[in-house]
A and B are shown apart, each in its own frame.
Chain A
Amino acid sequence: MTTTDVHKTPNPVAAAIRDAALTALISFCLFLPLVGFLTISNIRNEIVLTTRWVLLFSLVAIIGLGRLCYSLAIYPAMQRRALRPVKTEVPAWRAALGKWFIPFAIGFTIVYPFIVIATSGFGGALKWVDNFGIQILIYVMLGWGLNIVVGLAGLLDLGYVAFYAVGAYSYALLAKEFGFSFWVLLPLAGCLASFWGVLLGFPVLRLRGDYLAIVTLAFGEIIRIVIVNFVALTNGYAGISSIPRPSFFGIPFTADDDGFAAVFHLPFTPIYRTIFLYYLILALAFLTCYVTVRLRRLPVGRAWEALREDEIACRSLGINTTNTKLTAFAMGAMFAGFAGSFFAARQGFISPESFTFLESATILAIVVLGGMGSQVGVAIAAIAMIGGTEIMRDMDFLKEIFGSTFDPTQYRMLIFGFGMVLIMIWRPRGLISTRTPSVFLKERKTISADLIGEGHG
């Protein structure tokens, strides 16, 4: 398996072939039970086996050939590239990109709905604004919220979705039972979520690293199980439906005479609501980002980052680690609460299905893949991961290649999971792995995260 052996031997081609054959053999054994055989229930509901030799052998052949290509072509090319001298100066286009990327991205997100309407009309734009725009922005916001906890304070939280659920259920229940408006409940949901953040954060203050991750996971699951089983309040698995939708400063988005379209003398289409929701989540996401960026310069933000780098040093310097951790938990949870109430208002229906561990893992993956602590990186990771999985829904042309029974959405999470592994191997520090210190002496410099030894986080 090891590629280094391949290139020491006198005949690299023979060695590569041997290596590929070995890989194929291993993958044959690996896939033999699960791919080679299919268990299906027959009419009498008994499990019977069918074989899939063609699929198995084609999979093994692909892996073997891939390995052969890798050790004959890709690996030597990578070796040659590694030997080339490293260019130290940054090319001009990259400097310009770094300078103009953020203003351009902000501008693009603001005009995005109009670009989509201009290119694909009202009917086609609905899908693009809703599935891509809003969906991605929710995750961007959640990623930025979790970034406070994981990226800045270095507290690994695997139960973040619990606060998202608290926000969503707070909005749904209070809006349905008491008829409060979205704008009253948005801050309230944030407050409730951050209250839960402090409540769950308090007992786990002493834990760190992997232990903290597992306990927060347990808390997240406990909240989900309680939501599932507390049927009297939450309606269990059936969920809460017909949640009131947000209105445009009191004007509802309906086809009625006092609806948005009628008031502004526009023809009624459902896209107004979608565009309104798009700008709402965009504003919320920008708020999250802005608050985070500003907080980093306050003493509490500096304390978070100091805590991430070395907890013992922090304590020695007189930083109150209890308060520092709790504020991080509370801030992160608050933004999850905002996002949760937005989610409930947008969907109009929530159920425990939306708040599983997989969501927490997705959000954490976005933060880590983006590069912990980097706002731009998190946004790019959210676009890549959520946009990528959304695109998988639309790949109808694959049906023509693999036959009509082929359903690309099945493979979404499969590719998602494997993508997480591959990106970690490729860039363990995330896509943007530089740190910009908020305090500097003469000039602002970014430093590579690889140079930072994280101690007792």
Chain B
Amino acid sequence: MDVFIQQLINGITLGSIYGLIAIGYTMVFGIIGMVNFAHGDVFMVSVFISLIALLILTTFLGISSIALALLIVLVVAMVFTALVNWVIERVAYRPLRGSFRLAPLISAIGMSIFLSNFVQVTQGPRNKSIPPMIQGEFVLMDHGNYAVTLSLKQLIIWSVTAVLLVCFWYLVAKTPLGRAQRACEQDQKMAALVGVDVDRTISMTFVIAAALAAVAGTLYLMYYGVVSFADGFVPGVKAFTAAVLGGIGSLPGAVIGGILIGLIETMWSAYFSIDYKDVAAFSVLAITLIFLPQGLFGRPDVEKV
């Protein structure tokens, strides 16, 4: 039981990170119907940006307060990653809008290869690890030989994710930008006719997706403290799985799907085999798509002639 609760805590933490990335997939898929294959690598770039921002703050500027440093890193990473994704959309996806359906996917795969190799070339192929920034944990249950703990890092991840999700929900549900996004999702041509700037809305979708991926990236760096150029692919596919599991196009679905994937992965590692944890996540993806293609919260895909 103790192990189960500990894994529940770890799983939700990991799942929050996946959920934040999954929102990017689900939003982009919802608005332009494309699997943004490079999103996992955008996440990886954001981890590097936060790493570099953190090092600048601590070594060059000498900020000693960890909380302040983390907050600045979060904002810096969000801004720069948003810029990266904005440029990617402009360069690699916008010229292909309205082209045949495989073209954007191939372009995204190319972008994914480009991003991971760009980071490899500019930052070197080795793992980058930083010393743990935040220590401290709360012991929830202690039965002598096994203590269930909730670390401060995990608590930060939970609360940052929760706060950002509320902000994000407000943005999509209540602001003109969110309205424009939902309009474009339903029908781009009609949205354009009633005065929505479709191009700008799609750009903003990529910017928001990247900003959330950057939050995930900063939290990932804080939690694991290590990153390499190849770390984009697997979290990317898992986050995509989360988006599919929750029902692609559904925002609460993405978060819940993310948490479920995080839980499945940690539970599988704890009770079955850590070597095959990726197999578990990928199998969930295949099983969901085969038996429940609309996901948990998605609308069924109606086929029209």
Interface residues of A (CB under 8 A from B): 1, 26, 29-30, 32-35, 37-41, 46-49, 156, 203-204, 206-207, 209-211, 213-215, 217-219, 221-222, 225-226, 228-229, 312, 357-358, 361, 364-365, 368-369, 372, 410-411, 413-414, 416-421, 424-425, 428-429, 449, 454, 456-457
Contacts and interface: CB of A to CB of B under 8 A. Distances in A.
Interface of B: 29, 34-35, 45, 48-49, 51-53, 55-56, 59-60, 80, 83-84, 87, 90-92, 95-96, 99-107, 109-115, 117-124, 126, 128-131, 233, 237, 240-241, 244, 275-276, 278-279, 282-283, 285-286, 289-290, 293, 303, 305
Nearest to A421: B110
A227 to B, nearest CB: 11
Contacts of B275: 225, 228-229
Contact of B90 (A1, A204, A410): A1
A421 B91 contact: yes
Given A40-B124, A206-B290, A420 B285 contact: no
A192 to B, nearest CB: 21
A410 B116 CA distance: 12
Contacts, number: 186
A34 B121 CA distance: 10
Contacts of A418: 110, 114
Contact of A218 (B49, B92, B113, B282): B282
Going nearest first, the 6 A-B pairs with the smallest beta carbon separation are A420-B110, A417-B113, A417-B114, A428-B103, A218-B282, A414-B117
A1 B199 CA distance: 14
A215 B286 contact: yes
A49 B56 contact: yes
A361 B38 CA distance: 13
A372 B100 CA distance: 12
Contact of A225 (B100, B279, B285): B279
**Residue with the highest number of chain A CB atoms closer than 10 Å, among B83, B95, B106:** B106
Given A221-B282, A454-B100, A33 B110 contact: no
Contacts of B99: 428
B52 A34 contact: yes
A74 to B, nearest CB: 16
7 contacts: A37-B56, A410-B120, A417-B110, A419-B110, A420-B113, A420-B114, A429-B103
A217 B285 CA distance: 10
Given A47-B55, A218-B282, A454-B101, A34 B118 contact: yes
Given A30-B84, A204-B286, A210-B29, 18 more contacts: A34-B123, A39-B52, A47-B128, A47-B130, A48-B59, A214-B35, A214-B237, A214-B289, A218-B282, A218-B285, A222-B282, A228-B275, A364-B106, A364-B109, A421-B91, A421-B111, A424-B103, A456-B303
